[in-house]
A and B are shown apart, each in its own frame.
Chain A
Amino acid sequence: MFNFPAPTIDWVIIAPTMIVSITGLLALCLEMIWPKRDNTWIIGVSLVGLIMAAVSVVAQFSYPEATTFSDTVIRDRFALVMQLLLIVAAFCSLLFSESYLRDKRISYGEFYPIILWSLVGGMVMVTTRNMLLMFLGIEILSIALYVLAGLSRSESKSEESALKYFLLGSFASGFLLYGVALLYGATGSLDISAIASAWPRADLMHQTLLVFGFGMVFVGLGFKSAFVPFHQWTPDVYQGAPTNVSAFMAAGSKIGALAALWRFLEGAEGMKAIWMPALTVVAILTMTAGNLAALVQKDAKRVLGYSSISHAGYILVGILAHFAAPDKVGFGSLAYYLLSYTLMTVGAFAVVSLGANKGKEGTKFEELRGLWRRSPFAVACLIVFVASLIGIPLTSGFAGKFMIFGDALKANLTVLAIALAINSILSVAYYLQMIKAMFVDDVEGDEVIEKRPVSLGMTTVCALCAGGIVAAFIFTPVVIEFLVGKS
């Protein structure tokens, strides 16, 4: 009665995902062959695998758009670029992991395969328009991150953050799933593009289903990308989780969730009149609440958590600008901003992770005192990252914010543009607090931490991120053309 044709598989499209998952398996095998040894080989294999995956993504830039696995996996420029950004985020987070995990005394080799599979989840999410695959991708990404957040098993804070992330994350996926169920009921398909065709000919009941379904999906994705009012978990989880995991969480899971949101909004463009005002409010609240709450924080990782909330707001402005005027604004500034966001956030987390010592976290402002004396190069790079997070000229953060500002004006979203500008100024204060803490000398009574050599991975990631930020500013048009192609 039901004839199931075997899907034809285009291996080139899924090559990046396959490479990363196989690299994860290899890394796990290495860990099993030489347990409890130093993780040099595991890191080597993981990094080589990531580079190969990145090459296989970039090589596909010149290929035409295509789909495989019965139209569930797609290759378009957006999917490729988001995959590349995810790989960059994972690569940078892996580079500084070993020395940090050693300082925290949790250098388990299993960390590397799990973070690679988490990356696989993100890559699945961004290469599909099918809600089943998107749900699976989100879950693969999140479940791996739940484990990693609790990696520091002897530390109450880490476990607490894992539990919070786990409960709120699965709560959010419950919403997402129920939303998908309603959308499926209204369209009879799990493909997001079916929403677009179902909306114009829907009667009142189906319209209600579509609107509620889309709202539920937005709640689910809003949790993952930390939009206000679903943002409360972010600073807690970022503070408690090991710093390298927070770095990947901040960059990787946000890229995945925002890309998925982009796809959903693409499908729901017909009901723009309903969601555009709601999302405008969400964007303004997200930017402002993130920045205001960050002002009173005393912990560098919490500050970065709140800053990532407000950055999610800036990025949402970019997304809304595209959907307000699709023919005038492409995804160029979104991709550029996500690239610079990845570099500056992962870089900042990397430098903050230098506070770890003798199994302790050490990211409170008073514990970071004198970091300048201990590792001058890293703190110098942090200045670049913070300048970029604020949006000071000569950094890619400035160029990205400027472009999103311009997009918002082009799309007649003046309110959002003004909110963005005000918030950029607001954010200066707390970033400077963080920098200041590192330059203040040790106060009498502080535990004196001797100067340690900074690991090669840490130096590399600082140099890469800082160099990338400045280079991306100087060659802004080149970078954008690389990301979105000639238009």
Chain B
Amino acid sequence: MNGVPLVAYLLVGLFMFTIGVVGVVIRRNPIVIFMCIELMLNAANLTFLAFARYMPSSNVAPTGQAQAVMSGQMMVIFVMAVAAAEVAVGLGIIMAIYRLRQNIDIDEMNLLRG
């Protein structure tokens, strides 16, 4: 990763995050929406790792460097675990809906309104 500046990683992260947000807003299939949410989480992960790798250039005291780097990397591990848990629950909910009405289109979820 020599020569690649921090900003490049951040921009890729921001780009992924934006794709995720736009996808959630415009797509109609819950599974695709959910994939877009995963994209958002992974954009955050990429940002964490980029910041962790380039941490020495930020405004942290020299004694706290190791801890600063570690906490960013740890966060990524936890986020991946949480995302896995979300997948399990989310696909379960989508399955339950499919069993009820043989269809998971978001536009037909209109029972709840007032």
Q: Which residues of A contact B113 (CB under 8 A)?
A: 236
Cβ-defined contact, B109 with A163, below 8 A: yes
Q: Which residues of B contact A333 (CB under 8 A)?
A: none
For this complex, 7 residue pairs linking A to B, each with C-beta atoms less than 8 Å apart, are A164-B112, A177-B41, A177-B44, A182-B47, A184-B75, A188-B60, A236-B113
Closest to A72 in B: B71
For the complex, is A287 an interface residue (Cβ under 8 Å from B)?
A: no
CA distance A150 to B60 in the complex (A): 45
For the complex, is B11 an interface residue (Cβ under 8 Å from A)?
A: no
Chain A, interface size: which category? Answer: 35 or more
Q: Which residues of A contact B21 (CB under 8 A)?
A: 174
Cβ-defined contact, B112 with A236, below 8 A: yes
Q: Which residues of B contact A182 (CB under 8 A)?
A: 47
Chain B, interface size: which category? Answer: 35 or more
CA distance A299 to B114 in the complex (A): 8
Q: Which residues of A contact B64 (CB under 8 A)?
A: 188-189
The smallest C-beta distance from A290 to any residue of chain B, in angstroms, reads 13
Q: Which residues of B contact A157 (CB under 8 A)?
A: 111-112
Q: Which residues of B contact A150 (CB under 8 A)?
A: 92-93, 96
The smallest C-beta distance from A121 to any residue of chain B, in angstroms, reads 11
For the complex, is A248 an interface residue (Cβ under 8 Å from B)?
A: no
For the complex, is A36 an interface residue (Cβ under 8 Å from B)?
A: no
Known interface pairs A163-B109, A166-B90, A178-B43; A189-B71 also in contact (CB < 8 Å)? yes
Cβ-neighbour of A239 out of B58, B94, B114 (below 8 A): B114
CA distance A240 to B72 in the complex (A): 38
Cβ-neighbour of A160 out of B41, B68, B109 (below 8 A): B109
CA distance A150 to B96 in the complex (A): 9
Cβ-neighbour of A163 out of B48, B74, B94 (below 8 A): B94
For the complex, is A302 an interface residue (Cβ under 8 Å from B)?
A: yes
Stretch binding the partner chain, chosen from A54-62, A80-88, A135-143, A382-390:
A135-143
Which chain A residues in 184-205 approach chain B with CB under 8 Å? 184-190, 198, 201-202
For the complex, is A11 an interface residue (Cβ under 8 Å from B)?
A: no
Cβ-defined contact, B93 with A162, below 8 A: yes
CA distance A123 to B109 in the complex (A): 33
The smallest C-beta distance from A371 to any residue of chain B, in angstroms, reads 20
